[in-house]
Structure 1
Amino acid sequence: MPGTLLARSSLALALSVALASPAWAQVASDPANQSATDTRHHGEGDRHVKDLDKVQVTASPLRDTADALSKPAEVLAGERLDENRAASLGETISSLPGVQSSNFGPGVGRPVLRGMDGPRVAVLSGGLASADVSTVSQDHSPAVEAFLADQIEVLKGPSTLLYGSGAIGGIVNIVDGRIAEQPIDNGFSGRAEMRFDTVNDGNSDMFRVDGGNDRFAVHADGVYRNNKDYDTPHGKQANTFIDTKTGAVGASLLGDWGFVGASASRFEDDYGNPGEPGDLSIGERGVWIRMRQDRYDLKGGLTQPWGEGSSLRYSLGHTDYEHVEFEGDEPGTTFTKKADEGRVEAAFAWGGGWSGAIGAQASDATFAAVGEESFVPETTTRAAGVFGVARKQWSDFQLDLGARFDSVKADPVTGPARDFKPVSLSVAGGWKLDERWRLTANLDHAERAPAEEELFSDGPHLATLAYEVGNANLGEEKANQLELGLQYKSDWMDAKASAYYNRFDDFIYLVDTGEQWHFEEEDEFLPVRQWAQADARFRGFEGEATFHLVDDETRGDWDLRVYGDTVRATLASGGNLPRIAPSRLGAQLRWENESWRASLGALRYAKQDKVAVGETPTAGYTLVDAHVAYHRDFGDHAAWEVFADGSNLTDQTARVHTSFLKDSVVLPGRSVAFGVRLFF
């Protein structure tokens, strides 16, 4: 470990600075005036988030709690989020059932929801699109910082009703609280963290401060991450470094009438591409990416503008994104994207057990790529949509209805524009069978407009080691999904499970043409692959159960969590779809007693041998992790915590089947991250 890192870690441990994780997420009684999260410390009694199903989901227009939704939803917050924070978004949330990570080295990890990723999964920041180019190529990272999240919300399955055709597989929403929606307790609060990781001699530092009164609030945050190439069971994995700097400021006006606020943020991320590592022994640096994004957001809400139970919320966002791929010290391809997005939601309570919301959303984005890997032409995409959801509540039955209509126009500089009119419909129900059991069912029809790379690509795509050819004649992709869910809640166990069947008509995927293209600059031949459409089927099962084994003031609280998921994806005509996530089964034993908490877990990834033509199978592996933390409170408004998190403790060789690099890149080996947190 370098001397500076050792000095910093010694200082941190000597200070013994750590914090008790506060109850960051609260159930808000007034959806127009209260935030879904609360990052302030509240004292010993409610510091821990015990039941994440009771956390409010801000991605729902009706501001439901997770267990009130008929559709499958997960929220990661509090100590669970602390223990899972990682350099990429996908890795951070991969402990949730049905969620894995695409992985293109540690700097890239888009979420994979039920076997789907890329343009089928929408990544949101505060309810608006991340507006990056991560869907264009598997080596592009989302421009979001999970380390700053107060909570992360995952809606699995078709979410096109709420967020447009790019959410046909689900959404992942980062809630960061940069624009305050309610007054700051005691006028000032914040948190800070320093952590160090043995597997990559890395460190991650963050801070957040919020201040104000009952009429005004200000916010500032920042993250610095510097990780070197990580260790594996077989030595260093070359070109896996990460260097991230991000920060934001925000301000809000508050009152009984509601709130309005604005924020500005800067995201800078440099990371290596381990698929092209170079050779440092001869002074040859590999391929690496320099990403920069400036983002500006405006949000507001009105409290009960049309009477009790009503609310109005609106948000506007502008992003300016640039991403340069370097080959050593020489700049290669430059990707840019300028995007504007607006959204408004109005919620109502109509009486007689009815409630609902209507909304509208519009976006305008221009994407361009210049350089040898500019396989997609400059394209302007404009989209607009209107949606509505309605709910009828009886004593033991809940009915949810929804519809959305979109207009999407993709206009490339190289040819004629394409227009699409996706339509999405949904009906869902929840039955409370008794005080412990709840049954849910939902039927969704969702449509997705093809992305620009699927329509207009024509050139070598080195991340996939192929020459990709788009198809400007592609039509809307259509999904019809049936899902059944079962929930159980008692003093000794909380459990939920879901089974789903998703029938895709005109599923968009890459087809190997059998031809080869000579890449003269690298003197190699690349397979030619073309975007095409065919019917496909996704079916799967996922579930988790938490057993409350012991609840004792002397021995502490003991919980056992077991969870798992499996998905099967095939073409209707026969054959497997590529890079489908393998089945998993995991367990974690947790203990808490006064100032201490600890856990030990293991997650088994099955082998994946149900592969597409030309795809290699992946062996199974088991990852063992452990966490321990000691916290202390200072009065009513401050706390500290020292912690250690271990991962892959048995030093397994693990390859991620969803990654294009799985045959040459393995996951990090045994690692221990340790550090300190402070809340005030």
Structure 2
Amino acid sequence: MAPDRPGLPRTTAPALKRPRIDNAMSYVSPETYDSLVVVKGPQTVLWGPGASAGTVRFERDREVFDAPGVRLAGSLLGGSFDRNDQVLDVTLGAPIGYARVSANRSESGDYEDGDGRTVGSAWKKWNADVALGWTPDADTLLELSAGFGDGESRYATRGMDGTRFDRENLGFRFEKAGFNGPLEDIEFTAFHNRADHVMDNYTLRDPNPDGMMPMPMASNVERTTSGGRFAASWVLDSLEATAGVDAQDSRHRRRSAMGRGAYLAQPWITDARFANLGVFGEGTWDIAERNRLVAGARVDRASADDERATVGRAAMPNPTAGVTRKETLVAGFARFEQDAANQPLTWYAGIGHTERMPDYWELFSADAGPAGYPNAFSGLDTEKTTQLDVGLQYRTKRVDAWVSAYAGRIDDFILFRYDTGGMMGPASTATNIDARVAGAELGVEYRPREFWKVGATLAHARGEQDSGAALPQMPPLEGRLTLGRDDGTWSYGALLRAVASQGRVAPGDGNVVGRDLGPSAGFATVSLNAGWRVNSLVQVTAGIDNIFDRAYSEHLNLAGNADFGYPADPVRINEPGRTAWLKVNLTY
């Protein structure tokens, strides 16, 4: 059966592979998107290779105008620690097309934890995006887009701060539906992204003469990525299928220098190039009235070029200079779904496999590679995950309940081991191990009467190396309780978050972005919020997070940096203390 959708209902943000020099959320204002889609585990192959933990997509509904008009959404937010945000999303349109402009600005000062200690964390950022769409009919979309942004952030966990997060991107999208016959629609997207990131120890702080970086210094890295995707969908009786091809190519370059602003006079040095070409296919087969089989497969050809002349802190000659690595990555999954007869119940069970190419930071940032190899570039193998996912969902007028669980085997898991005794800071060794992971999540939402709802969730994850040691960077058991009331004019809400202690750790082991610091304590926090919808245009909400001003830290954390007064022994960074906020939303 063809999906119930008139024309082309959604515009999906391309699944871009961004460098790890900044978080993808740095460039996203969630308010300007219509939905967030999460596929857990290796249970789709449509959006690029290596989706072992899952796939996250931000989606926008397609802009449709029956007559010339304007749509506007915006918000203002103010809060503790000088927090202030502004968001504006404006669309002008007509039946023939539209123009959409989204802009946001956000900043905050250093926050205080529950003990009243100031944590270096001040930041500010801005982003602006524009999209021009041509819609000659309900089945056709042609869109050009562009985006720009920048920001800065103080890091209490590092010897340098992020003082530039400059980004620019261009995009093209073409979608066409309404074909005669089994072909349902086609889609073509192309993009060009550039991220320019500067870290230094003098713009947002003063160099510490007693620290590891006593002199002003800066590091500037840039990554340019271009790519595209073509996909087509068909409907044949009880079968819906999508197949296509995607590709991307990226160049990474860097420069650094001692002295304030001295890096600007240094030439760029290209140290790596990456490329990927993949083909994929995924389909849903309605086996019977309530039974479905969803399956897919993809094959990718990935390559990485090592263009570094020297490696390591001592700048030794690079034994793999000019070497190209090429890997063939395979992925696939199969999932059975069933709606219970005469019951508001759906369950699924699926098995998936995916293979991940080590990324730039895993291949190039480690001080050493696996034993017997000159560096991580030559020694790190691809990471392979095979995982079983099961789940159940129950939905009635008053109750929504769900449970999901997974168990997986990871061959050649990419593990970083850190030696913290070095004079120049922790030295890292990247290697491969085999590991096992498992976890479960469950939740329920109960609506006892009109306007009211009560909810609870519980999540747990466990990881183990084949040696029997704990897998590092595993979050502890976490539960949430929520209570809310919303009658359309007034709304109220409360959240209790409780996190258990974590004693299964592997101190010194971790990944490219963090390591286990040791056992962590459990904690609980309470947050309250309330809202008033003044009219159809304006809504005001306010809240207090961590209302009891608890001093606590997350298990997944980084050690405090000596420049901010933290001792040499690993000390976790505490989260914000009591935080109040007020927000005004405008919709037109």
TM-score using structure 2 length: 0.84
Provide the rounded CA distance (Å) in 1 between the counterparts of 2:66 and 2:153.
36
| Structure 2 residue 181 is the aligned partner of structure 1 residue 307 | yes
Partner of 2:20: helix, strand, or coil? coil
Q: Which residue of 1 aligns with 2:233?
A: 347
Q: Which residue of 2 aligns with 1:391?
A: 284
| Structure 2 residue 524 is the aligned partner of structure 1 residue 622 | yes
Q: In 2 relative to 1, CA 145–134 (structure 1 residues): closer, same or farther, beyond 3 Å?
A: farther
Kept after mapping to 2: 8 A contact 1:237/1:665: no
Q: In 2 relative to 1, CA 650–661 (structure 1 residues): closer, same or farther, beyond 3 Å?
A: same
Higher helix share: 1
Provide the rounded CA distance (Å) in 2 between the counterparts of 1:206 and 1:256.
29
Q: Which residue of 2 aligns with 1:506?
A: 412
**AA partner of residue 4 (structure 2):** S
Q: Which runs of 5+ in 2 are unaligned?
A: 204-215, 264-268, 309-320, 369-373, 509-516, 561-570
Deviation at 1:534, TM superposition (A): 1.1
The superposition leaves residues 641-670 of structure 1 with CA deviations (integer Å, 9 ceiling, x where unpaired) of: 111022111111121211223724111111
TM-score using structure 1 length: 0.73
Of residues 436-445 and 126-135 in structure 1, the stretch that sits farther from structure 2 once superposed is 126-135
**AA partner of residue 155 (structure 2):** N
| Structure 2 residue 243 is the aligned partner of structure 1 residue 358 | yes
Of residues 334-343 and 655-664 in structure 1, the stretch that sits farther from structure 2 once superposed is 655-664
**AA partner of residue 116 (structure 2):** G
Provide the rounded CA distance (Å) in 2 between the counterparts of 1:432 and 1:566.
26
Kept after mapping to 2: 8 A contact 1:570/1:577: yes
Provide the rounded CA distance (Å) in 1 between the counterparts of 2:85 and 2:284.
44
Kept after mapping to 2: 8 A contact 1:297/1:316: yes
Deviation at 1:372, TM superposition (A): 6.7
Kept after mapping to 2: 8 A contact 1:600/1:627: yes
Q: Which residue of 1 aligns with 2:487?
A: 593
| Structure 2 residue 80 is the aligned partner of structure 1 residue 187 | no
| Structure 2 residue 197 is the aligned partner of structure 1 residue 316 | no
Q: In 2 relative to 1, CA 182–130 (structure 1 residues): closer, same or farther, beyond 3 Å?
A: farther
Larger Rg computed on CA atoms: 2
**AA partner of residue 30 (structure 1):** R
Q: Which residue of 2 aligns with 1:653?
A: 551
Q: Which residue of 2 aligns with 1:259?
A: 141
Q: Which residue of 2 aligns with 1:609?
A: 503
Partner of 1:472: helix, strand, or coil? helix
Q: Which residue of 1 aligns with 2:78?
A: 196
Deviation at 1:581, TM superposition (A): 1.1
Q: Which residue of 2 aligns with 1:127?
A: 14
Deviation at 1:369, TM superposition (A): 2.6
Larger RCO, structures 1/2 (Cα 8 Å, 6+ apart): 1
**AA partner of residue 360 (structure 1):** V
One of 379, 384, 392 as aligned partner of 1:478: 384
One of 33, 45, 48 as aligned partner of 1:161: 45
The superposition leaves residues 499-558 of structure 1 with CA deviations (integer Å, 9 ceiling, x where unpaired) of: 11011111111134x695432xxxxxx34321111110110000211111102xxxxx11
Provide the rounded CA distance (Å) in 2 between the counterparts of 1:188 and 1:140.
29
Q: Which residue of 2 aligns with 1:122?
A: none
Kept after mapping to 2: 8 A contact 1:342/1:363: yes
Alignment of 1:154-553 (within 5 A): 154-158=38-42, 161-176=45-60, 180-183=62-65, 187-198=69-80, 200-254=81-135, 255-276=137-158, 287-307=161-181, 310-329=184-203, 330=216, 332-351=218-237, 353-371=238-256, 378-393=271-286, 394-414=288-308, 415=321, 416-434=323-341, 435-459=343-367, 470-512=376-418, 516-519=421-424, 526-551=425-450
The superposition leaves residues 226-257 of structure 1 with CA deviations (integer Å, 9 ceiling, x where unpaired) of: 21111212224332111111111111000233
Deviation at 1:349, TM superposition (A): 0.2
Q: In 2 relative to 1, CA 309–471 (structure 1 residues): closer, same or farther, beyond 3 Å?
A: closer
Provide the rounded CA distance (Å) in 2 between the counterparts of 1:360 and 1:306.
23
Q: In 2 relative to 1, CA 536–669 (structure 1 residues): closer, same or farther, beyond 3 Å?
A: same
Q: Which residue of 1 aligns with 2:316?
A: none
Deviation at 1:176, TM superposition (A): 4.9
Deviation at 1:598, TM superposition (A): 1.1
Provide the rounded CA distance (Å) in 2 between the counterparts of 1:162 and 1:185.
35
Provide the rounded CA distance (Å) in 1 between the counterparts of 2:402 and 2:305.
44
Provide the rounded CA distance (Å) in 1 between the counterparts of 2:217 and 2:90.
37
One of 129, 140, 145 as aligned partner of 2:29: 145
Deviation at 1:141, TM superposition (A): 7.0
The superposition leaves residues 104-145 of structure 1 with CA deviations (integer Å, 9 ceiling, x where unpaired) of: xxxxxxxxxxxxxxxxxxxxxx1331524347xxx9975333
Provide the rounded CA distance (Å) in 2 between the counterparts of 1:306 and 1:531.
53
Q: In 2 relative to 1, CA 649–31 (structure 1 residues): closer, same or farther, beyond 3 Å?
A: farther
